[in-house]
Amino acid sequence: MTVRVRFAPSPTGRFHIGGARTALYNVLFARQTGGRFILRIEDTDTKRSTPEALEELKEALRWLGLHWDEGPDVGGPYGPYRQSERKAIYQRYAQQLLEAGHAYRCFCSPERLARLREAQQKAKQTPRYDGLCRSLTREESDRRAATGEPFVIRFKAPKDGTTTVHDYLRGDITVENSTLDDFVLVKSDGMPVYHLAAIVDDHEMAITHVFRGQEWLSTFPLHALIIRAFGWQEPVWCHLSVFLNPTGKGKLSKRHLKSEQEVFVLGLRDLGYLPEAINSWIALMGASFGAEEELLSLDEMAARFSLDRLTPSAARVNFEKLDDFNGKWIRRLAVDDLCTRIKPFFERAGLKVDDPTLRRITPLVRERIVTLDDAVEMAGFFFRADVQPQPADLTPKGLTAEQSTQALERARAALEALPEFTHAAMELRLRELAAELQLKTGQLFGLLRAAITGQTVSPPLFECLEIVGRETTLRRLDQALQLLKSPAGL
RNA sequence: GCCCCCAUCGUCUAGAGGACCAGGACGUGGCCCUUUCAAGGCCAAAACCGGGGUUCGAAUCCCCGUGGGGGCACCA
């Protein structure tokens, strides 16, 4: 039997890393087993589902390289893959449950239900449907439905005994049936609720393994009961642990983060993170791959993925590790590849990028950036006409303004006179100059760095100068000297 | 409040009764390298939640406690 797995998100908000990890594990398992990965859109909540969310979801999945074999846009033999287009299918199955006595119509108004819930909470009881309509006769139920009275369809959960379900990661889980509720299966607008839709679709789409979040653990027995009521075979269930906030307090939410973009896949992309880094990072929170190396490609992870290496406990997200992974992935990138990835960040910052220069600076920044975005701060000066050094950086500690001026003037002359404007030649000459001026190399070079890059931190100075070119270098030195002469005026 | 799940360094994890005075990674500290910042190399500190069992032997199995998490909608 070929493996068929599915990722079934609800397009109700921005796509976050928790969802990405669930999708990733599905993909890895499918790839490893030669199975199929299905994307199914759970948009039965017409109030909350939005087209924008769906687009973001698909874009994020594609960006991560998590391509689906069946689903929206690509189709497949079990479509449609959007639940909103499958209403008739669910109604047919709901009818089947109704006729078999596994479900019943409930005519209780939302108001009555709200009052009921309130009273139960006040009495410190678990809010649950009290079963009023459960005892309605078939005739009365049919009659009231025929008059057009609105109703929902509820599952008739067993009252006595226990129900045992099996989760691959946790083993058997047994609950007292007395704690079960008569869940709504079909809403009064005829739309199914997750509990019905997901179970029907997993069956209809021949899903063999379900990887889903542990938030479904509490309704897991109900899902198994529905499957059993139909007499279907159960898939293998893996309830994945949740992501917790870095503080460990509660489920991951944007509120506890430096930037709320950090929870969203596309947010991370815009922050300058690589899909490779995100994949290898989220994969490791909730599973292990038994490899010496932690930075694994999708293919490597697929080869090593195992249900037995999934962890059932919740994981706090660790953004420091993401940074580490991202830096390491960046350093693995070929120069050309990195160029194309960095370029948009320069452009987004309003800089005009010329490709030959970009090609030359990329190896320099590659060693020292954590996110792609860092390249702008590190190397933006290459693409600006002029720079604005801080006056304080031109008169560093231990040097008077006169000394700084003298040093820059001598350096300028030396650079102008250099036969070859190469970094090797510059370094040789300027080291001599530092000795002549009785300055530490750090002092002289720091001064030049400030004057020419406008920064105190930059890629190696002489490589920078070589790329900036003699003309611009001399001009910026002149501007720095100007600044030294009249710091107040500027 | 009720139900369910989970529990190894600060964090993610390895560990499936003896191979563990518990291994790796991130982070932290130190050293080296060094024109800045990084990168890189080396080193260090750092954990089996508590209590009972079972067993010759438990991080590993069982029970209780504690802690953490998830859920309790005509949302998914």
Query: What mean pLDDT comes out for the span A385-399?
Result: 85
CA/C1' separation A249–B54 (Å)? 36
Residue A364 has pLDDT above 80, yes or no: yes
Classify residue A206 by its DSSP letter. Answer: T
Residue A460 Cβ < 7 Å to strand B: yes
Q: Give tens-digit pLDDT for A146-198.
A: 999 999 999 999 999 999 999 999 999 999 999 999 999 999 999 999 999 99
Classify residue A242 by its DSSP letter. Answer: P
Nearest to A258, CA basis, from A197, A341, A320: A320
Average pLDDT, chain A: 93
Q: Give tens-digit pLDDT for A223-256.
A: 999 999 999 999 999 999 999 888 777 888 876 6
Residue A14 has pLDDT above 80, yes or no: yes
pLDDT at A487: 57
pLDDT at A96: 97
Beta-carbon count within 10 A of A489 CB: 7
Residue A245 Cβ < 7 Å to strand B: no
Residue A117 Cβ < 7 Å to strand B: yes
Residue A98 has pLDDT above 90, yes or no: yes
Q: Give tens-digit pLDDT for A103-152.
A: 999 999 999 999 999 888 888 888 899 999 999 999 999 999 999 999 99
Banded model confidence at residue A488, pLDDT cuts 50, 70, 90: low
Greater model confidence, A123 or A40: A40
Q: Is the preceding omega at residue A9 within 30 degrees of 0, hence cis?
A: no
pLDDT at A260: 79
Question: Buried b / exposed e across A234-250, counting CB within 10 Å, b at 16+?
Answer: ebebbbbbbbbbbeeee
Classify residue A351 by its DSSP letter. Answer: P
Rounded CA separation A410/A431 (Å): 12
Q: Strand B within 7 Å of which CB atoms in A 298-357?
A: 308-309, 311-316, 318, 320-321, 323-324, 327-328, 331
In a 10 Å sphere around its CB, with 0-12 CB exposed, 13-18 middle and 19+ buried, how is residue A384 labelled? middle
Residue with CA nearest C1' of nucleotide B2: A126
DSSP helix/strand/coil, A166: strand
Query: What mean pLDDT comes out for the span A36-47?
Result: 95
Residue A489 has pLDDT above 60, yes or no: no
pLDDT at A490: 45
Query: What mean pLDDT comes out for the span A459-467?
Result: 96
Rg (CA), chain A: 32
pLDDT at A215: 93
In this prediction the ipTM stands at 0.95
Residue A168 Cβ < 7 Å to strand B: no
Residue tagged active-site, from A47, A58, A249, A254: A254
pTM of this structure: 0.94
Query: What mean pLDDT comes out for the span A404-409?
Result: 92
Residue A15 Cβ < 7 Å to strand B: no
Beta-carbon count within 10 A of A360 CB: 16
Rounded CA separation A447/A444 (Å): 5
A485 tagged catalytic: no
Rounded CA separation A36/A38 (Å): 6
Residues in CB range of A96: below 8 A, 6 or more apart: A230
Banded model confidence at residue A51, pLDDT cuts 50, 70, 90: very high
pLDDT at A231: 96
CA distances to A191, A260, A357, A399, A443 from A407, rounded to whole Å, are: 78, 47, 28, 10, 10
Written as six digits, the tokens of A43 are 């948009």
Residue A299 has pLDDT above 60, yes or no: yes
Among A276-280, A318-322, A384-388, the least confident range: A384-388
pLDDT at A188: 95
Query: What mean pLDDT comes out for the span A425-447?
Result: 92
